[in-house]
Chain A
């Protein structure tokens, strides 16, 4: 793969230049949170964030969008969410997240809404440094060798730029004078030291190897019921997960006109109505059953089909779940370890109150 070099101060001018005909989405601070957003002021881009609130899947498949415009004549496909975009500042684990979504949406019965947005989005990755919640080392998603058009590795004064695709190479060609064609020996040495230090900086570790079997063997363990009693059924875990793909479809009828829309929304299997069918029959009324489904998908089903967990170690669920139900506490419970978590400390009486509602 071609590797070139860019002086730090030239990055923003470069991004400005290449986004003249495309939207540029990157991490920025908004209302005290770091989120991916459409960039208007390029100086606001947060180059040093560890993670964004929502994963970059929202740039490809927005939380809600139109699938069809409905008129008296029938259904008309609407791909207006799939405008040309550049997604900048995406970290290796999140690129792995997109690669997992690619498997779900682009193989067997491909989904045109995902494919259109994906092929109209250029991926410009950026290196990162783990905090205490990252465990991408354990999921082997801390480094990335595919799935990007350009990847910028931060070396203090400059970036090493990996050119991952022909489209990425075309971007470079828009401003070739910005780049130095060859990294120096010193750059290579700095890069090597950085890699080693970063590798050893992952403090949170999870052993995924035995997870599919443990999911099977510990399916009826009492910790699931404990988690189920604490679970708020809020769906936040799915919203922040880079690999959650479930969606709901709702038609909207516009009474003023003879038209309507068929819209697609992010959904979560931890929400109560997720498995409900006609006449109020619900195949998963119980929170514990819904949590088991979530973790069966991530840590058993996906591994059986694709040989790796549907988890990229981004740590978002660790920071988001209000009652500490997350990949770390669930995997520890599966491994029979003692877990310090809200759901495990919840007194019995309080939980009985909740279930009687």
Chain B
């Protein structure tokens, strides 16, 4: 019987991971590491285009694949940055890899933040804990393109000073006068914390008057944070469709085939992961 399967398919394989090198990795805080990754093929590395808020699938050879949001900004091409917590099989393996190791990457996936629509608007970026991972991308993007946006405000809350991810980077930001950067910790048990204390919503009282219709808010943090933050934003009368949040779901494909990230009648991987508060109201199961 002559029956051979074809070696190559009629279309390119969208699931094929591209080899990428871990250029740099170090601990940001206990249990969270920073990874700088560059696609090995230099042309592909430089032409890798993405939007703040998009994610990629990272593969560890023989271990598995998982989705990760990109923490770097597309305004600095060539290198991709991630901020990853050690929580599962894939991240365990990723943490064990040394610099110069090769991993697989494919993407970018998802809708990302609507950076074009947000031009000439005020941005309020609110993050808690590891929620800063996708928001650092849009924060750096707005700073790299500072003249495209009106006021940029960044609110970030962590549990304790030594649990604040990118702490030194953000402390430097708080000295700048072209961005309002407010940092807070729930408890300061070090006695050396110079910024605010209290939960992230306690930072809202420091904000100046805003024009709600001219403002986009972006939120990412632990599930419990959303309700309180959204309540504050609604008090400011920011329109529901201008309150954006980015969500986490289980994903195996990134292109709406495997089904895992389905919410109601949409897929987080193609229709999200960025959703507006209006989506939350009219779709079940979002948050």
Contact status of A75 and B16, CB under 8 A, knowing A111-B257, A277-B249, A297-B262: yes
Chain A interface mostly helix, strand, loop or mixed? mixed
B9 touches A (CB below 8 Å): yes
A260 vs B14: C-alpha distance in the bound complex, in angstroms? 19
Judging by beta carbons under 8 Å apart, are B259 and A246 in contact?
Answer: yes
Contact residues in B for A253 (Cβ distance below 8 Å): 62-63
Nearest CB in chain A to that of B251: its residue: A277
B11, A110: Cβ atoms under 8 Å? yes
Least distance between A17 CB and chain B CB atoms (Å): 14
Q: Bin chain A's interface residue count.
A: 35 or more
Distance to closest chain A CB from B57 (angstroms): 10
Given A251-B65, A277-B249, A83-B9 contact (CB < 8 Å): no
User: Judging by beta carbons under 8 Å apart, are B285 and A283 in contact?
Assistant: yes
Q: State how many angstroms separate the Cβ of B241 from the closest Cβ of chain A.
A: 21
A275, B250: Cβ atoms under 8 Å?
Answer: yes
Q: Do B258 and A278 touch across chains, with their CB atoms under 8 A apart?
A: no
Residues of B within 8 A of A274 (CB): 250, 260
A289 at the interface (CB under 8 A from B): yes
Does any Cβ of A come within 8 Å of B176's Cβ? no
Considering only CB atoms, which chain A residue lies closest to B259 in the complex? A246
Would you call A120 an interface residue if the criterion is a C-beta within 8 Å of the partner chain's C-beta atoms? yes
Contact across chains for A74 and B3 when beta carbons are under 8 A apart: no
Q: Are B1 and A21 in contact (CB under 8 A)?
A: yes
B252 touches A247 (CB 8 A): yes
Q: Do B5 and A112 touch across chains, with their CB atoms under 8 A apart?
A: no
Decide yes or no whether A2 CB sits under 8 A from chain B.
no
Taking the nearest CB of chain B, how far is it from the CB of A158, in angstroms? 30
Given the known interface contacts A21-B3, A74-B104, A247-B252, the answer about A115 and B11 at a Cβ–Cβ threshold of 8 Å is yes
Contact indicator B258/A252 (Cβ below 8 Å)? no
CB distance A74 to B259 under 8 Å?
no
One of A79, A269, A278, A284 near B7 (C-beta < 8 A) = A79
User: Bound complex: CA of A81 vs CA of B7, how far in Å?
Assistant: 11
Q: Smallest distance from the beta carbon of A201 to chain B beta carbons, Å?
A: 34
Cβ–Cβ contact A251 & B62, under 8 A? yes
Indicate whether A41 reaches chain B with its CB closer than 8 angstroms.
no
Answer whether residue A3 sits at the interface, using C-beta atoms and an 8 A cutoff.
no
A267's partner among B2, B19, B259 (CB-CB below 8 A) is B259
How far apart sit A301 and B264, CA to CA, in the bound complex (Å)?
8
How far, in Å, is A258 (CB) from chain B's closest CB? 9
Q: In A86-130, which residues have CB < 8 Å from any B CB?
A: 104-105, 108-113, 115-116, 119-120
Whether the Cβ atoms of B264 and A83 lie closer than 8 Å is no
Identify which of A108, A248, A297 contacts B258 (C-beta below 8 A).
A248
Q: Which A residues touch B11, using CB under 8 A?
A: 110, 112, 115
Chain A proximity mask over B223-262: 1 for CB below 8 Å, otherwise 0 = 0000000000000000000000000111011011111101
- What is the bound-complex CA distance between A284 and B262, given in angstroms? 11
- Closest Cβ of chain B to A264, distance in Å, is 9
Q: Which chain A positions have C-beta within 8 A of B2?
A: 21
Beyond A75-B59, A77-B13, whether A269 also contacts B259 by CB under 8 A is yes
For B51-82 the 0/1 string (1 means CB < 8 A from A) is 00000000101111100000000000000000
How long is the Cα–Cα vector from A99 to B11 in the complex, in angstroms? 20
Chain A residues near B253: list those with CB within 8 A: 247, 249
The distance from the CB of A79 to the nearest CB of chain B, in whole angstroms, is: 5
> Which one of B102, B104, B250 contacts A276 once the chains associate, using CB atoms below 8 Å?
B250
Within 8 A of B (CB), among A238-254: 245-254
Answer whether residue B88 sits at the interface, using C-beta atoms and an 8 A cutoff: yes
B117: interface (CB < 8 Å): no
CB-nearest residue of chain A to B88: A278
Give chain A residues whose Cβ lies under 8 Å from the Cβ of B91: 278
Chain B residues near A245: list those with CB within 8 A: 257, 259
Interchain CB contact under 8 A, A116 and B9: yes
A31 to B256, CA, bound (A): 37
Docked-complex contact B63 and A296, CB < 8 angstroms: no
- Interface pair B17/A75, CB less than 8 Å apart: yes
Give Cα A83–Cα B5 distance, bound, in whole angstroms. Answer: 4
Whether A275 contacts B265 in the complex (CB less than 8 A), given A83-B4, A112-B9, A219-B284, comes out as no
A sample of 12 more A-B contacts (CB under 8 A), given A74-B104, A246-B259, is A21-B2, A67-B15, A75-B17, A77-B9, A80-B5, A84-B3, A116-B9, A249-B258, A251-B64, A253-B62, A269-B262, A275-B260
Chain B residues close to A by CB (< 8 Å): 1-17, 19, 59, 61-65, 85, 87-88, 91, 102, 104, 248-250, 252-253, 255-260, 262, 264-265, 270, 284-285
Residues of A within 8 A of B (CB): 20-23, 67-68, 70, 72, 74-75, 77, 79-84, 104-105, 108-113, 115-116, 119-120, 219, 245-254, 259-260, 262, 267, 269, 274-279, 281, 283-284, 289, 293, 296-297, 300-301, 304-305
